Structure 1
């Protein structure tokens, strides 16, 4: 009798250990105020019909209790196909972590915990130029995009970072609800800043996860702009109050200069703000 009991216990333990979890495809993290999805694939040896249960809890902070966010049960009658469960996190406060439990008939329960993150997909950062002198201003344009490819509307933290990785200036930018274009920002580089590669860093205010950061590198150094030559051609005058001129600016090696031209009409050439204006 004892031998039969031991044999039965061995078979039971072996059967439990042989159970394996289903295949579960998860996002890197659960995005706040957005749709998220989980895909479950039963293993090939499963017997049909079977049930799939997905149970998700949300924990707002370390001291709070977990609350149910999502629960769904499906009865499956075919194998070899994936089953996607979609849920929306908008009707719950932003949580720091989410518990994911997946139960499939004939499988070992699958359980894991995912972080909660801002619904930010990407941040495009542009500056008005790539090289700056100490003391100059940096004009920045920022385009944040959420997971639905719409403008991201939550607050952002923007920092000017020196070559040693220290945040010299950090500003919190509140994004207007009616924003429909690039967000504008401006930094003044300190006068006696060290030369080297600096960066503009942007991240959501409600997340410190490294993959939520975006940055753009710029160069800070003293530099002199190369000299270039200007040639101006006056075309034939066709009217007394109109004159057509052509201004050509090239560097000494022949490459054209890109920029704008300021022309003032008068009786002589004069100096305006350190620049020669051609006056006719």
Structure 2
């Protein structure tokens, strides 16, 4: 802040500066500038507090020595927030689907924002249908879910995220809502031997019934069912192998080799 006492009976004056949280009237800053020349420019730095002392706005009170009246002004406050990174689990949803959202709020110093964040589900007409509030715990990203209604407007929907009580700072991510049906497809999986007895490669090929290739995500795992029977994958050499690790990879047509899965012969 830049402060200049315009008039004063003395050439050298003391300037008292106070800042109060607007909602609670709590004094959060006080400083006295001593022996300043009247009509000179004086710089004051004020660090916005966090926690309960933080406010949407602050009341600035400045009084020069021997002045009968003080100068008061309302200044806006801002959260220590650089960005809220948002991610949804899909880009296209159907009615009644659950939209899973992950949010990573970061401060200006690169640390995790530790205040509450408000989320809203917004339809294409701009109506905020559902509101939820989440707080950061265990130094992790924020997770929130919204279930889409059965009867809705198709088109571009939006998730809004903003720090609690700070509507001026809003971040968003969009997604599409459509009515669609997944066509049938076939998935072929084949294990390949490598020079390492404990390491095998997995080939995955997915195609629609008409032969058209599929692009998407593949998850590969082998596990035991409730009867403790072992899940097996047939290899190109005729052997059977038991997969003991899990992997999830993004794939593009026509196929993807998921390397690094440990598969043991049985």
Change (3 A) 1:76 1:254: farther
Indicate conservation of the 8 Å contact 1:50/1:104, yes or no: no
Matched-pair contact (CA < 8 Å) for 1:60–1:93: no
1:230 to partner: Cα distance: 6.3
Structure 1 match to 2:101: 140
1:110/1:185 Cα in 2 relative to 1: closer, same or farther (>3 Å)? Answer: same
TM-score (structure 1 length as normaliser): 0.57
Q: Which residue of 2 aligns with 1:71?
A: 31
Q: Report whether the alignment pairs 1:201 with 2:160.
A: yes
Alignment of 1:144-183 (within 5 A): 144-176=105-137, 179-183=138-142
The offset of 1:129, in angstroms, is 1.5
Alpha-carbon shift at residue 127 of structure 1 (Å)? 0.5
Q: Flag the 1:104–1:121 CA change in 2: closer, same or farther, 3 A.
A: farther
- Quote the offset at 1:225 in angstroms: 4.8
Structure with higher Rg: it is: 1
Report what 1:260 is aligned to.
218
Contact 2:116 2:135 in 1 (8 A): yes
Q: Is the 2:2–2:44 Cα contact (8 Å) retained in structure 1?
A: yes
Do 1:52 and 1:74's aligned partners in 2 also have CA atoms closer than 8 Å?
Answer: yes
Q: State the match for 1:222 in structure 2.
A: 179
Consecutive unaligned residues in structure 2, runs of 5 or more:
6-10, 222-231, 239-266
Cα deviation for residue 158 of structure 1 reads 1.5
For the residue of structure 1 that corresponds to 2:152, the secondary structure is: coil
CA distance in 1, matches of 2:130, 2:51: 36
Pairs aligned (count): 215
Which of the two has greater helix per residue? Answer: 1
- Residue 56 of structure 1 contacts residue 70 of structure 1 at CA under 8 Å; is this kept in 2? yes
After superposition, the C-alpha distances for 1:14-54 in whole angstroms (9 at most, x for unaligned) are xxxxxxxxxxxxxxxxxxxxxxxx35699xxxxxx966846
Instruction: Note the C-alpha offset of 1:220.
Output: 0.5
1:58 pairs, out of 17, 20, 29, with 20
Q: Describe the superposition over 1:219-265 as per-residue Cα deviations: whole angstroms up to 9, x where unpaired.
A: 10113457878677776798999975533447899887242154853
Query: Runs of 5+ in structure 1 lacking a partner?
Result: 1-37, 43-48, 268-280
Q: Equivalent residue of 1:211, what SS?
A: coil
Q: Structure 2 length normalisation: TM-score?
A: 0.60
Map 1:1-280 to 2 at 5 A.
38=1, 53=15, 55-61=17-23, 67=27, 69-73=29-33, 83-87=43-47, 89-90=49-50, 93-101=53-61, 112-176=73-137, 179-205=138-164, 207=165, 209-225=166-182, 246-249=203-206, 257-260=215-218, 262=220, 265=233
Q: 1:218 to 1:54 in 2, by over 3 A?
A: farther
Matched residue SS, 2:218: coil
RMSD: 4.5
